[in-house]
Structure 1
């Protein structure tokens, strides 16, 4: 590839991610736990006010999240938030996971630009909804 074209592409990518932390960029470009879980114990699909949706699937064994995945149709910040919320929840008890908030996701990401902060809340809300759906079925 032409060196000038490579330089231009690199400059565009740097500018695109300039307002985001390294953690956000890493999770947006290399998201963890992406996909669906067959026969999940809990599932939720939540759409935020911006129109982005996040879906969360969970598997629970002995009251512990043993597997968790997500999918989003959203922006890079939504991808990063979905990825991070799954990392925060994995291996924790249902009770611990119910305490995860948008602020926890935001802090774990090292922050987001103000206009993207709602993505962290969306991810936490989707996680909470998946847990609540699991609890309804577990009774």
Structure 2
């Protein structure tokens, strides 16, 4: 049994090192413990984006006075979708709504230190979900203003 445990520990260590080499330390750490995972309790808007790969990223925002006070994400996708959603939520924090469209897939990817070519689309999914969340906020705000 000890030989199996040793083998599995060595295998996990090898896989972790290969992942760090492929994705970088920032992405590896974010994958192991993704900040901003989940829906903030006071979220008042959300947006989603689904890729051709089938992954969906949802971004949740708590916006007050046109400023993002809290953000979170959910994905049913791969590790690259997870780290991209996490980064997009982080990049939104403290930003004014008018500044959020400037957070692009390129910015998400670059802040992660890059992604494998086959996974780069995940950064765009996260940015698109963020933009969709801002659109949801504006729709809700406009609808609320029209009813007042």
The TM-score normalised by the length of structure 1 is 0.92
**Alignment partner, residue 108 of structure 2:** 105
In the alignment, is residue 138 of structure 1 matched against residue 141 of structure 2?
yes
Inter-partner Cα distance in structure 2 for 1:28 and 1:111: 14
Cα distance, 1:38 vs structure 2: 4.1
Structure 1 stretch displaced more, 6-15 or 68-77? 6-15
**Alignment partner, residue 128 of structure 1:** 131
Q: 2:27 aligns with which of 10, 21, 24?
A: 24
Structure 1 unmatched runs, 5+: none
Task: Decide whether the 8 Å contact of 2:19 with 2:28 is kept in 1.
Answer: no
The TM-score normalised by the length of structure 2 is 0.87
In the alignment, is residue 64 of structure 1 matched against residue 82 of structure 2?
no
Provide the aligned length of Structure 1 versus Structure 2: 139
Structure 2 unmatched runs, 5+: 143-148
**Alignment partner, residue 77 of structure 1:** 80
Q: Give the root-mean-square deviation of aligned CA atoms.
A: 1.5
Inter-partner Cα distance in structure 2 for 1:125 and 1:5: 39
**Alignment partner, residue 146 of structure 2:** none
Structure 1 stretch displaced more, 19-28 or 110-119? 19-28
CA deviations over 1:66-103 (Å, ceiling 9, x no partner): 01110001111111100111111101100111211000
Structure with the higher fraction of residues in helix conformation: 2
Instruction: Work out which of the two has the higher radius of gyration on C-alpha atoms and give 1 or 2.
Output: 2
